Amino acid sequence: MNDWKNPEIQTARVMIDLFCRQFHHRKPCRECDELLEYVKRKIGQCPYADGKPACSHCTIHCYRKDMRSRIREVMRYSGPRMIYRHPALALKHLLRRRNPHRTLPSCFPEKD
């Protein structure tokens, strides 16, 4: 899979890079590389596939609690800065989040 063709991974990569440069003073550090690899693996395994909603609107939370808190920290810092550093990417990310009600493929039962 070409990472730059997947907008979710592209956005995560840019956000993690912004965060890493500010707090770890080098790019990329081992910790941030591990987070990006985890994000890529989870997005690649998502049962929603192309109809994937934003993770915050998803009914299936597939991230481990520690990784979820790390990516939230990255997004809280990088999200507002994306508007100035990568405006087109930030706008695309916001537009993707507007359609949170996507359905799972038929092989996955809906949760009650």
Length of the chain, please? 112
* pLDDT > 70? residue 111: no
**pTM for the whole structure:** 0.76
* pLDDT > 90? residue 35: yes
Write out the two tokens for 12.
């995560």
The residue written with tokens 């520690």 in the block is 66
Look at 43 and 36; give whichever has higher pLDDT.
36
Mean pLDDT of the chain: 80
- Would you list the domain boundaries of the chain? 3-97
- pLDDT tens sequence across 50-101: 666 677 677 777 889 999 999 999 999 998 898 899 888 888 877 766 655 5
